[in-house]
């Protein structure tokens, strides 16, 4: 498949030449075909890109992919369970096992503040202080989160966004991408595709989407 870590240093020779670090955001959503609710998932990767003296770019990606420590997801389970934040590689492997179609929004440029919030959110998820539940607390309790809220807690404008579990997967993630646009999370609407091979995303099957694009579920 492809190899990288949730927090790693990578070199990308084709990056834009800029002074100082730049920050990027990629949003993902997927579910099985035919649709099964337990396979619906929303996750995101944030990337800090710093130009190096030798002309390459140092990439520091962090991924928020919040799932139960023991799969599969049980959407109607009322008691919170231990969660585990997965790497991007692990998440694509889970999607493949679920026969999931994966959609991708971005990579969009974002800002340092959102990247730092993502780093802190990953630290919080890895601390053991947060539990997983598909029916979470509608944004009121940070100690219980589902996958979509694990992502939105890393955004200053979307931390209280209500994201009912019925809207996760591709349809809900497309709506969420539109919320990011409305909140001013992105620097323009251009996608920065030079990041894709650097992160191994040119070697996995994804469907490129526009924020707010209607994505129907495939039931059969």
Question: Hey, where are the domains in the chain?
Answer: 10-208
Q: What pLDDT is recorded for position 142?
A: 81
In this prediction the pTM is 0.88
Residue with the two structure tokens 């251009």 = 190
pLDDT over 80 (residue 167): no
Using alpha carbons, list the distances in angstroms from residue 68 to 38, 81, 106.
11, 7, 26
Separation between Cα atoms, residue 90 and residue 67, nearest integer Å: 11
pLDDT tens digit sequence for 54-94: 889 999 999 999 999 999 999 888 899 999 999 999 999 99
Mean pLDDT of 195-206: 95
Per cent of the chain over pLDDT 70 is: 86
Encoded tokens for 78: 């009322």
CA dihedral angle for residue 75, residue 77, residue 79, residue 82, rounded to 10 degrees: -50
Separation between Cα atoms, residue 204 and residue 1, nearest integer Å: 8
Q: Residue 141 — very low, low, confident or very high, per pLDDT cuts 50/70/90?
A: confident
Q: What pLDDT is recorded for position 4?
A: 39
Q: What pLDDT is recorded for position 208?
A: 97
CA neighbours within 13 Å on the CB side: how many for 2? 19
Average pLDDT score over the chain: 87
Separation between Cα atoms, residue 86 and residue 67, nearest integer Å: 7
Q: What pLDDT is recorded for position 19?
A: 72
pLDDT tens digit sequence for 16-42: 555 789 999 999 999 998 889 899 999
């Amino acid at each position: 498949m492809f190899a990288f870590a949730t927090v790693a240093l990578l070199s990308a020779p084709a990056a834009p030449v800029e002074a100082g670090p730049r920050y990027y955001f990629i949003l993902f959503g997927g579910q099985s075909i035919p649709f099964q609710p337990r396979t619906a998932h929303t996750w995101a990767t944030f990337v800090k890109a710093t130009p190096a003296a030798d002309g390459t770019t140092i990439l520091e990606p962090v991924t928020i992919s919040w799932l139960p420590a023991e799969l599969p997801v049980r959407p109607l389970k009322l008691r919170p369970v231990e969660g585990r934040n997965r790497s991007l590689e692990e998440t694509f492997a889970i999607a493949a096992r679920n026969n999931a179609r994966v959609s991708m929004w971005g990579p969009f440029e974002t800002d340092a503040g959102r990247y730092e919030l993502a780093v802190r959110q990953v630290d919080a998820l890895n601390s053991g202080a947060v539990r997983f539940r598909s029916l979470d607390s509608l944004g009121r309790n940070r100690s219980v989160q589902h996958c979509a809220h694990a992502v939105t807690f890393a955004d200053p404008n979307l931390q209280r966004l209500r994201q009912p579990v019925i809207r996760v997967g591709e349809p809900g993630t497309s709506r969420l991408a539109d919320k990011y646009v409305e909140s001013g999370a992105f620097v323009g609407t251009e996608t920065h595709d030079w990041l894709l091979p650097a992160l191994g995303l040119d070697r996995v099957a994804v469907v490129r989407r526009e924020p707010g694009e209607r994505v129907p579920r495939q039931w059969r």
